[in-house]
Structure 1
Amino acid sequence: MRIGIIGPSENEIVPFIDKIHSKKVKAYAMLKFYSGKYDNKDVVALYCGVCKVNAAIATQILIDKFNITHVMVTGVAGGIDSVLKVGDTVISTEIAYHDVEAGILTEYHPWMDNIYFKADNTLVYVCKKVVEESEFKQKVLFGRIVTGEAFISDSGREDIIKKYNPLCVDMETASIAHVCYVNKIPFLAIRSITDTADESGTEAFENNCVSVAKNSIEVLEKLIEKI
């Protein structure tokens, strides 16, 4: 097993990278890939940059250059479901784009049955065991994540709820899941909430990103230790 771990920004992954042992660094496509051991397991981690294309580039390089067997995403997201508070964590069960027409995925490559990429069942199961056996300061929920390249306004939030009813929204997860789907690589996302309808906007994101990202990393580390 060799696990590829992606965080969109430095704040979302560097605290984990700092814990990798026997670390080596390689650069491809202007990205730095940190390989080594965590809990005696082979890992390759990086921050890919924000947005779907950057995330897809990083994921394909992980698969092609490092022969990873699993991909995990750690980072932050905007809360959509009102049950979520800042700091809570969402584990993906299925993922979709909210800014891509359905027919692009179902009528053309990769000819999906529907618009949802499924998280790996085994990883979800292990993560549920981790949540049952651990004491996290934040609430951890399992469910749908949607991805698109915009911060969500109040009107956009209503449209997304009506069409997808997700727990949260981000800018990378669906594209990473998309690359994993076509390469048949097991995938899971762990995202903690920086902003909600009650505490919204870029200012909330910037104020909460560093502290909230630690919640996601904490779940990630316990998942790797459990595998």
Structure 2
Amino acid sequence: MRIGIIGPSKNEIMSFIEKLSDKEVSSFAMLDFYRGSYNSIDVVALYSGVCKVNASIATQILIDRFNVTHMIVVGVAGGIDRRLNIGDTIISTELAYHDVDDGILTEYHPWMKNIYFNADSYLINLCRKIQSSKLVTQNIYFGRIVTGEAFISDFGRGHIINKYNPLCVDMESASIAHVCYVNNIPFLAIRTISDTENESGTEVFEKNCVSASINSINVLEKILEII
């Protein structure tokens, strides 16, 4: 088993990378890949850069160059479901794009039956064990994540809720799931809420990015300790 771990930004992943033992760094496509071990699990981790294309580049390199067997993305997300508070962690069950026409996925490669990518059931079940055993202190929710390269306005929020009814929105997870789908690689997204409808804006995001990311990394570390 070798797990690829992606954080979109340095703030979202570097505190985990610093804990890896026996680190080796390789560079491809202007990205630095850190291979090492955590709890004797072989991992390759990096920060990919934000948005879909950057995340997709990193994902395919992890598969082609490092032969990862599983893929996990960690980081922050904007809360859509009104139950969510800053610091709550979302575990993906299924993922979709909110800014890609449905037919792109169903009428062209990869000719999907619907627009949703499923997260890996084994990794989801590990997170359920973490939740039930109270191995982390934050609230954990399981559900749908949608991805797009836009900051969500009130109008956009209504459209996303009506069509997708997700728990949260981010800028990378569905694209990573897309690459994993066509390569048959098990995938999971772990995203912690950094901003909500009531607490939004650049200042809120910047204030909460590091602390929210730590919550996602805590879940990741527990996975690696029980997998």
TM-score, normalising length: structure 1: 0.99
State the 1:150 CA deviation.
0.8
Matches for 1:85-96 after TM superposition, within 5 Å: 85-96=85-96
> What residue number does 1:203 align with?
203
User: What residue identity is the alignment partner of 2:84?
Assistant: L
In structure 1, what is the Cα distance between the partners aligned to 2:136 and 2:179?
A: 31
User: What residue identity is the alignment partner of 1:103?
Assistant: G
Uncovered stretches (5+) of structure 1, i.e. residues with no partner: none
State the 1:203 CA deviation.
1.8
> What residue number does 1:9 align with?
9
> What residue number does 2:143 align with?
143
Judge conservation of contact 1:151–1:202 (CA < 8 Å) in 2.
Answer: no
> What residue number does 1:174 align with?
174
> What residue number does 1:78 align with?
78
In structure 2, what is the Cα distance between the partners aligned to 1:195 and 1:185?
A: 30
State the 1:136 CA deviation.
2.6
Quote the RMSD (CA, aligned, Å).
0.7
Query: 3-state DSSP class of the match of 1:123?
Result: helix
User: What residue identity is the alignment partner of 2:87?
Assistant: G
Q: Which moved more, 1:154-163 or 1:69-78?
A: 154-163
State the 1:184 CA deviation.
0.1
Q: In the alignment, is residue 110 of structure 1 matched against residue 149 of structure 2?
A: no
User: What residue identity is the alignment partner of 1:107?
Assistant: E
State the 1:9 CA deviation.
0.2
In structure 2, what is the Cα distance between the partners aligned to 1:134 and 1:23?
A: 30
State the 1:14 CA deviation.
0.3
Judge conservation of contact 2:2–2:70 (CA < 8 Å) in 1.
Answer: yes
User: What residue identity is the alignment partner of 2:21?
Assistant: H
In structure 2, what is the Cα distance between the partners aligned to 1:225 and 1:153?
A: 39
Q: Deviations over 1:152-202 (max 9, x none)?
A: 111111110001000000000000000000000000000000000110122
In structure 2, what is the Cα distance between the partners aligned to 1:135 and 1:174?
A: 27
User: What residue identity is the alignment partner of 2:186?
Assistant: P
In structure 2, what is the Cα distance between the partners aligned to 1:45 and 1:168?
A: 24
> What residue number does 1:66 align with?
66
> What residue number does 2:162 align with?
162
Judge conservation of contact 2:194–2:208 (CA < 8 Å) in 1.
Answer: yes
Judge conservation of contact 1:119–1:186 (CA < 8 Å) in 2.
Answer: yes
Query: 3-state DSSP class of the match of 1:111?
Result: coil
In structure 2, what is the Cα distance between the partners aligned to 1:136 and 1:64?
A: 33
Query: 3-state DSSP class of the match of 1:104?
Result: helix
Query: 3-state DSSP class of the match of 1:94?
Result: strand
In structure 2, what is the Cα distance between the partners aligned to 1:120 and 1:94?
A: 9
Q: Deviations over 1:6-62 (max 9, x none)?
A: 000000000100000000000000000000110001000000000000000000000
What stretches of structure 1 move > 3 A for 4+ residues in a row?
A: none
In structure 1, what is the Cα distance between the partners aligned to 2:186 and 2:40?
A: 20
Q: In the alignment, is residue 122 of structure 1 matched against residue 94 of structure 2?
A: no
Query: 3-state DSSP class of the match of 1:13?
Result: helix
Uncovered stretches (5+) of structure 2, i.e. residues with no partner: none
